[in-house]
């Protein structure tokens, strides 16, 4: 009762507060199990009082989570032996090539010893010529380790694969569309450290569109081009048009399985803009590609050396040459049989056009040409591995 004995009030001496019919325990107190008295609010060792000091909650500052009376350690932590603290889980790495990260909370691939991620595990860095031997990585056959790097054992390129030479490799349609004949490649460069030579076909082997339809999709990149998919046997998901070249592109048509083993997958740098301000999209990892502006100027600095004949078969593919009464750069009849060929650099100020090499003088056509036209030819290029 209140002091006037006229009404009931909460029993403050028993640590209740509130209004009649709605009494509750003061801060730092809670009801007993019978709900008849307020008793001291006591939290377990893995709990703390909430902001109002009316109940206990799990001590998240020390990595406990859950509900009062049922707190447990959050992900990445586990109870200590006494069960009083959450400590980082003791991670044990059992996979080949794995080590603990700096925090000791996860297993990562041992990059210092040439292991790289693959799926859920680690493999030796094949790109840089390492292969697995037991639980270690060693240089592949044909390479030897020098200061932690695999270097080619050969000090010169084999005959036919030296810079400026020609090399016969693979077969493709040339005289007609029914008989495959030996392909001849020009050796543009040699990478002695990595046992490989950069090859490009001596002739234009097909006329093809870069991207076969004029599309509003931007940017028009090498990554999503039809030429890239056709060269590398990529599925429909890899190009804007949705053309499926799995098993029926140039790669499978021109090379046997043993020949394919010599073709190196490399990172294709698409940052070249030739001053156009538009690059060819993100870098890709491909076996076959066409050169860009920077590569042409580096590997074929002389314009006359860039001119290329077209095979008779290539002349029957793509669009027919435009040969008006006056000659132009597209008409092989007017350029002694030479043919224009695409490069993977955007035309200046227009991302719906890509540059090509002119047939009459070997210079760049910097303005570019619409990607949907099939007037220009393709000269595939790749790095040939001669380590075996």
The ranges assigned to domains in the chain are 12-76, 98-152, 186-385
Q: What angle do CA 145, 148, 153 make, to 5 degrees?
A: 20
Predicted pLDDT at 384: 98
Predicted pLDDT at 366: 84
CA distance 143 to 137: 13
CA distance 187 to 205: 17
- E strands, 134-245, are 136-139, 143-146, 149-152, 166-173, 180-191, 196-201, 206-207
CA torsion through residues 230, 232, 234, 238, sign: negative
| Residue in this structure with the two tokens 């603290």, named with its chain if needed | 85
CA distance 336 to 356: 18
CA distance 365 to 357: 6
List of residues 6+ apart from 267 with CB closer than 8 A: 283, 284, 285
Predicted pLDDT at 178: 96
Q: Which regions in the chain score pLDDT beneath 50?
A: none
pTM: predicted TM-score of the whole model, two decimal places: 0.74
Query: CA torsion, points 17, 18, 20, 21, in degrees to nearest 10?
Result: -100
| Per-residue model confidence as pLDDT tens digits over 28-73 | 999 999 999 999 999 999 999 999 999 999 999 999 999 999 999 9
Token couple for 125? 């860095």
CB 84 within 8 A of CB 45: yes
| Residue in this structure with the two tokens 């074929």, named with its chain if needed | 300
Cis peptide before 122 (omega within 30 of 0): no
Predicted pLDDT at 320: 79
CA distance 205 to 313: 7
């Amino acid at each position: 009762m209140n002091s006037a004995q006229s009404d009931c009030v909460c029993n403050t001496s028993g640590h209740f507060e509130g209004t009649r019919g709605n009494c509750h325990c003061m801060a730092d107190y809670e009801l007993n199990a019978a709900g008849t008295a307020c008793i001291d609010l006591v939290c377990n060792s893995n709990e703390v009082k909430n902001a109002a000091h009316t109940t206990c909650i799990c001590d998240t500052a020390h990595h406990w989570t859950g509900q009062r009376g049922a707190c447990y350690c959050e992900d990445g932590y586990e109870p200590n032996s006494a069960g009083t603290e959450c400590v980082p889980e003791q991670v044990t790495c059992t996979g080949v090539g794995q080590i603990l990260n700096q925090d000791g909370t996860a297993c990562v691939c041992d990059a210092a010893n040439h292991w790289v991620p693959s799926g859920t595990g680690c493999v030796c860095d094949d790109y840089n010529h390492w292969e697995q031997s037991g639980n270690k990585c060693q240089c592949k056959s044909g390479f030897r380790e020098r200061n932690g790097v695999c270097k080619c054992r050969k000090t010169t390129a084999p005959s036919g694969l030296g810079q400026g030479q020609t090399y016969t490799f693979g077969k493709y349609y040339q005289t007609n569309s029914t008989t495959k004949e030996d392909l001849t490649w020009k050796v543009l460069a040699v990478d002695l450290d990595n046992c490989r030579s950069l090859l490009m076909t001596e002739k234009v082997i097909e006329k093809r569109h870069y991207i076969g339809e004029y599309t509003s999709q931007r940017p028009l990149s090498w990554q999503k081009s039809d030429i890239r998919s056709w060269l590398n046997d990529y599925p429909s998901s890899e190009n804007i048009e949705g053309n499926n070249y799995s098993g029926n592109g140039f790669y499978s048509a021109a090379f046997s399985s043993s020949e394919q083993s010599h073709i190196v997958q490399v990172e294709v740098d698409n940052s070249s803009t030739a001053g156009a301000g538009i690059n060819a999209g993100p870098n890709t990892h491909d076996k076959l590609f066409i050169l860009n502006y920077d590569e042409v100027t580096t590997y074929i600095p002389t314009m006359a050396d860039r001119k290329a004949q077209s095979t008779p078969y290539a002349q029957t593919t793509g669009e027919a040459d435009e040969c008006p009464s006056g000659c132009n750069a597209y008409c092989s009849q007017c350029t002694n049989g030479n043919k224009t060929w695409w490069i993977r650099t955007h035309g200046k100020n227009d991302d719906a056009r890509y540059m090509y090499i002119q047939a009459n003088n070997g210079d760049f056509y910097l303005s570019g040409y619409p990607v949907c036209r099939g007037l220009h030819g393709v000269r595939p290029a790749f790095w040939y591995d001669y380590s075996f």
